[in-house]
Amino acid sequence: MPNWVTNKLFISVDGLHEDDYPGIIDEIQEALKNDQGFIPTLIPAAPYEPEDEIVIGGEHVGYSLSDQRYDWCSENWGCKWGDCRTSFLYGPPASDYFVWTFDTAWAPPIAAIKTISGMDSARGTDVYMLSVEEQPSFRAHYHFKNGEVVTEVEENCFKILEWPKEPEGDDWNEPGTDDFEAHIKWNDCYERMNESLHAVVETIWGPEWALTLRGVMAESKAGEFAWGRA
């Protein structure tokens, strides 16, 4: 299984009447209606070759990823496969952005979003992507426009974040014990820290991380008493 990267895609419609929304929004939504990833829909790969087909028990179950196809996906999408588990989150009037969340394998799809931002249906539109790797080994923020990367900020989470150490104890799965209560509090702290890492705010400069990595760390340490043992 790959390490998954969770991405949020923001397409700005700030100051636009709905009749003037960029066409790329409808193109992405249409791909989702057809239960297809928007990346392989908008940037299609070459058709699979007959020898790529995987057949088990006489039934078609999928296709293998040849070295040539893997290289093409990496170069044109920036990731091994297209987008997975893609869903629309929200848009106007709640926000000045249309926002989607989706996962990609091993890496954020920088090449794909860069290409999409340069399509005629997205010309002149500010496109943002915020990405977090599942370990998390990195967190990143990208701004695209007219087929170019305007800004790119990648952060090494391993250098700054110190995840809370899981409490030791043999009775962690026995309700009512000290070990069980300590484990519950540790897990709550871990989940809060993960939520803080992924939290996003929309500013006049575009979507940003709600907290810096050091802010996430400080918030976690402020609550250490809640999961640590006396």
Q: Are residues 114 and 219 in the same domain?
A: no
Whose CA is closest to 31, among 71, 77, 69, 84? 84
Q: State residue 90's pLDDT score.
A: 96
Q: State residue 121's pLDDT score.
A: 97
Report the mean per-residue pLDDT for the chain. Answer: 87
Residue 135: CATH number of its domain: 3.30.70.1270
pLDDT at 34 over 60: yes
In the chain, what percentage of residues exceed pLDDT 70? 92
Burial of 75 (0-12, 13-18, 19+ CB in 10 A): exposed
Q: pLDDT tens-digit profile of 70-91?
A: 889 899 999 988 899 999 999 9
Query: How far is the C-alpha of 93 from the C-alpha of 76, rounded, in Å?
Result: 34
Q: Which residue has the higher pLDDT, 199 or 48?
A: 199
Q: pLDDT tens-digit profile of 158-216?
A: 888 887 777 777 777 778 787 788 888 888 878 888 888 899 999 988 999 999 988 88
Element (H, E) at 66: none
**136: preceding bond cis by omega (within 30 degrees):** yes
- Look up the domain containing 4 and give its range: 1-157
Whose CA is closest to 28, among 20, 38, 19? 38
Q: Are residues 23 and 125 in the same domain?
A: yes
Q: Which residue has the higher pLDDT, 165 or 3?
A: 3
Whose CA is closest to 96, among 202, 199, 8? 202
Q: Are residues 101 and 148 in the same domain?
A: yes
Rounded to two decimals, the pTM is 0.85
Q: Which of 54-58, 126-130, 197-201 has the lowest mean pLDDT?
A: 54-58
pLDDT band per the 50, 70, 90 thresholds, residue 61: low
Q: Domain boundary at 116, 134, 157, which?
A: 157
Q: Are residues 151 and 165 in the same domain?
A: no
Q: Which two tokens stand for residue 138?
A: 């990195």
Q: State residue 229's pLDDT score.
A: 40
Q: Are residues 139 and 168 in the same domain?
A: no
